[in-house]
A and B are shown apart, each in its own frame.
Chain A
């Protein structure tokens, strides 16, 4: 597993990494070494604190294993055995996957994002799709459940949302849903599925991008990456491409990339609010500009971008509300995204 990454997982992010990975690891690039240490530490922490799977979320497990695989970090074989059992427990009998082993009843609900991470992890661990071939009924139910979450009419026709969360119509959810659907459905040559995916792509380009409302760096990344993965990017108008580029560049400030325009927060609050620069926004911005235009970046560029976010626990944004620290110092996802972006840097 540590030697090869299934192509489909590499494609979650626009990663042209395989050759870069080998070469960069061999040259002992400082930041990759640092990241490798971080992932080794993460493994240590997770194995100690969470007795592995019981406290972990499927998203974290995917991010940890994906990052470790990219960096050739050794994964304990006992952990791999535990994973098979864990995955069978979080696969819902009604389709989809729970984010983790539920502690309470209200947590016993499949989510689009957790199903996406479940499938991506499955693909990492089981590239020959043994689980899916053994669990055809689960695959079918998962596809049907995901399709039931697509808006069938109205302004957001084609978008996906969680049934109990009306505000969850986002490019991220739509990306995760159609990635999962296409992954599950690709062996079935499903014509209807293609129609559904087309509708989702239309929502992304004709509604989310076209309306120019609710834009943020992350959302734009997922919107553009969705079109990129499904071959729709060339159909985007030049004007739209320029608007997206302009928006993303306008988020680049002296202290780093912001996720939102400052006017969004200021319009809502009376008090002066600290406006963060975010590591993930900077990384997404570079990946997005690379997909959409001829933007290129080197590992040196990235080193400058990410250095201010380096802590003793890894890379991370300090989110603040007023003077309060809000949230963890560093997340596995930030470390993984940093790794992915580094590996995508131009030679």
Chain B
């Protein structure tokens, strides 16, 4: 029988990180290996620490004047586990060295969640600083030019002949836009927390009017604690993915793949779910099949088999966070699909084999044959390497279209990149027959894209959103179950 601690009212914790144990196990020498976008980085830092029961004071050995005082036990609530998955995807990982703990996204609700979680974990030790990045191309439309002119007038109260530069006006536009969207969701941000926005022609927008907006929040002065935080993120992620219950300084109250305190009644949950279509609201048609499955459909026709119950395990919450960061569902759509028509799609693109394996496992635990197809994607940026592959087979890379985007037309390459996918992503083995094609994209290292069946999109989008942001909605359709089977 395990003892289950309660924590803070955001749901029961599923385990904890013991900072004292974590630091004791490595004698304060924290090392973390990060694999991110094809690059392996090893971060190392030595810490001194003093544990006084409930709290632990931690100092980097190379600068003892810096200190954080954190709870000795950091409880792994569903929200924190989801945040760890989210951070593993979108958080700063110091690939270029010396960076602060921080998080990058464009969707403001996700930022608020990250802001709350970072504040909670670090006991509000650090001031949050915000950065805004945008591409100049966004301002290259008549409508945006009018907006900029309006701001010029407001700022200078006069005609065009002023000293305010165009880029200053563009900065002011994105600054106001950010503050307004933050206010809308109840975040108060002091203007002094805002760094000067960066408006660059190289941010990534492809055409006039396109946006490449990105908000970044950083914990000011947290550089020396980044290694410790990333260690916490990695041990949690690794333990959950490998289904390990305890490791140095980390304890789950059961096996992370199967242990849960709550089980979702999927049928009830789906019956209450609705989403906006172009003309009306959609609801699931649900048909009883047996004691394990129900068949569902977005129209009268039911063809997808879903498990009647879903255990809300540490694994589920982690993958929900990873999906929120890495999934193909447009982030804004998580928050509007019930009221406004928003195309919903469930797909994951990742270069990380562990993410691909985790996503596949999640689909498998949710129902039958939810995996629709997979493909390999590779950026034009790597056209030389792709051409070298073709040359190694005595052929050339054939790319359709004026810009060469789309399916790779050389079947030799198509076949070899399928084999490459199967060799590098072992979890795809059972789905080798569902390979569709290889695609050339704009940028990005070779990676795998998994497409789930579209019928589950409203269910999964809603469930991920609710389990991360609005847990009480899920709780109403759950039953308590602390057995670990």
Give me the interface of A with B, judged by CB distance under 8 Å.
57, 59-60, 63, 99-100, 106-107, 109, 111, 113, 117, 162, 164-168, 170, 172-173, 218, 259-260, 264-265, 268-269, 276, 278-280, 316-317, 319-328, 331-334, 336-337
Contact = CB atoms under 8 A, between A and B. Distances in A.
Contact of A333 (B387, B393, B398, B404): B393
A260 B416 CA distance: 22
A319 B39 contact: no
Most A-side CB within 10 Å, residue of B385, B394, B402 = B394
A326 B411 contact: no
A321 B382 contact: yes
Interface in B307-334: none
Nearest to A334: B392
Most B-side CB within 10 Å, residue of A264, A319, A336 = A319
Interface string B90-123: 0000000000000000000000000000000000
Given A168-B398, A264-B384, A278 B420 contact: no
B384 A259 contact: yes
Most A-side CB within 10 Å, residue of B392, B399, B420, B445 = B392
Nearest to A56: B415
A324 B446 contact: yes
B381 interface: yes
A317 B401 contact: no
B438 to A, nearest CB: 11
Interface string B379-408: 001101101110111111011111010010
Contacts of B399: 165, 167-168
A177 to B, nearest CB: 12
Contacts of B400: 164-165
Contact of B38 (A57, A100, A218, A322): A322
B164 interface: no
Contacts of A60: 393, 412
Contact of A321 (B387, B401, B446): B446
Contacts of A162: 398, 409
Interface string B422-447: 00100000000000010000000110
B424 to A, nearest CB: 7
Interface in B4-39: 37-39
B116 to A, nearest CB: 33
B52 interface: no
Given A165-B400, A259-B388, A323-B39, A328 B394 contact: no
Contacts of B416: 327-328
A106 B392 contact: no
Contact of B412 (A59, A167, A269, A334): A59
Question: Binding site of B, secondary structure by majority: helix, strand, loop or mixed?
Answer: mixed
B392 A59 contact: no
Nearest to B386: A326
Interface residues of B, number: 38
B172 to A, nearest CB: 29
Contacts of A173: 396
Contact of A218 (B40, B391, B415): B391
B411 A322 contact: no
Contacts of A167: 399, 404
A164 B399 CA distance: 8
Most B-side CB within 10 Å, residue of A100, A117, A218, A269 = A218
Most B-side CB within 10 Å, residue of A111, A260, A268, A326 = A326
16 contacts: A57-B412, A63-B394, A111-B410, A113-B394, A164-B409, A165-B409, A167-B404, A168-B399, A172-B396, A259-B388, A259-B391, A265-B384, A317-B388, A326-B420, A327-B420, A331-B393
B247 interface: no
A161 to B, nearest CB: 10
Contacts of B417: 327
B38 A323 contact: yes
B392 A326 contact: no
A86 to B, nearest CB: 15
A188 to B, nearest CB: 28
A316 B411 contact: no
Contacts of A332: 393
B392 A57 contact: no
Contacts of B437: 106
B388 A319 contact: yes
Most B-side CB within 10 Å, residue of A99, A170, A276 = A99
A241 B473 CA distance: 75
Give 6 nearest A-B pairs by CB, closest first. Answer: A322-B38, A333-B394, A99-B411, A327-B389, A165-B398, A331-B392
Given A168-B396, A317-B392, A324 B409 contact: no
